[in-house]
Structure 1
Amino acid sequence: MTVVTKSIVVPYRAKQMLELVSDVKSYPEFIPWIRSLKVVSEADSEAGWEGRATAAVGFKGFSETFTTDVKKSLLENKVNVQLVKGPFKYLENSWQFSDHEKGCEVDFKIRFEFSNFLLHALMKANFNRAVTVLMDVFIEEARKRYSE
Structure 2
Amino acid sequence: MASKITPLLFRALVEMCEVHSSKVVRGNPNRANIRHLGSCGVLSARRATLPLSSPLRTTPSRSFINLAASITARRMEYSESRTLGYTPEQMYSVVASVDQYQHFVPWCKKSRVVKGRKGDVRAQLEIGFPPIVERYTSEVTVVPNHQVRAVCTDGSLFSHLETIWRFAPAAEDQPDSCNIDFHVSFEFRSLLHSQLATLFFDEVVKQMVNAFESRAAKLYRGHHTPSRRRQRGGEQHEKTPTH
Identify the TM-score tier after normalising by the shorter chain. 0.7 to 0.9
SS in 1 for 2:215: helix
The answer for the alignment partner of 2:99 in structure 1 is 25
- What TM-score results when the alignment is normalised by the length of structure 1? 0.86
The answer for the alignment partner of 2:225 in structure 1 is none
Are the equivalent residues in 2 in contact too, given 1:78–1:94 (CA < 8 A)?
yes
Residue number among 96, 103, 117 corresponding to 2:166 in the alignment:
96
Are the equivalent residues in 1 in contact too, given 2:160–2:185 (CA < 8 A)?
yes
Q: Do structure 1's residue 85 and structure 2's residue 85 form an aligned pair?
A: no
Aligned length: 143
Q: Do structure 1's residue 59 and structure 2's residue 129 form an aligned pair?
A: yes
For 1:126 and 1:30, the matched residues in 2 are separated by 16
Q: CA 1:125 to 1:35, structure 2 compared with 1: closer, same or farther past 3 Å?
A: closer
Are the equivalent residues in 2 in contact too, given 1:28–1:37 (CA < 8 A)?
yes
Q: Do structure 1's residue 106 and structure 2's residue 180 form an aligned pair?
A: yes
5+ unaligned residues in a row in structure 1: which ranges? none
Structure with bigger helix share is 2
SS in 1 for 2:207: helix
SS in 1 for 2:86: coil
Q: CA 1:11 to 1:19, structure 2 compared with 1: closer, same or farther past 3 Å?
A: same
For 1:62 and 1:10, the matched residues in 2 are separated by 34
For 1:89 and 1:144, the matched residues in 2 are separated by 34
Q: Do structure 1's residue 68 and structure 2's residue 154 form an aligned pair?
A: no
CA positional deviation for 1:82? 0.7
Structure 1 stretches of at least 4 aligned residues deviating more than 4 Å after TM superposition? none
For 2:97 and 2:199, the matched residues in 1 are separated by 29
Residues 19-28 or 110-119, more deviating: 110-119
Q: Do structure 1's residue 12 and structure 2's residue 86 form an aligned pair?
A: yes
For 1:117 and 1:138, the matched residues in 2 are separated by 30
**Higher Rg of the two aligned structures:** 2
Structure with bigger strand share is 1
Q: CA 1:41 to 1:27, structure 2 compared with 1: closer, same or farther past 3 Å?
A: same
- Counterpart AA for 1:11: G
% identical equivalent positions: 28
Query: 1:55-104, CA deviations, whole angstroms, 9 ceiling, x for partnerless residues?
Result: 111134231100000011027x0000011112111111100111113411
The answer for the alignment partner of 1:141 in structure 2 is 215
5+ unaligned residues in a row in structure 2: which ranges? 1-74, 223-243
Which protein, 1 or 2, shows the higher relative CO under an 8 Å CA cutoff with sep ≥ 6?
1
CA positional deviation for 1:31? 2.4
- What TM-score results when the alignment is normalised by the length of structure 2? 0.55
Q: CA 1:129 to 1:5, structure 2 compared with 1: closer, same or farther past 3 Å?
A: farther
Are the equivalent residues in 2 in contact too, given 1:2–1:124 (CA < 8 A)?
no
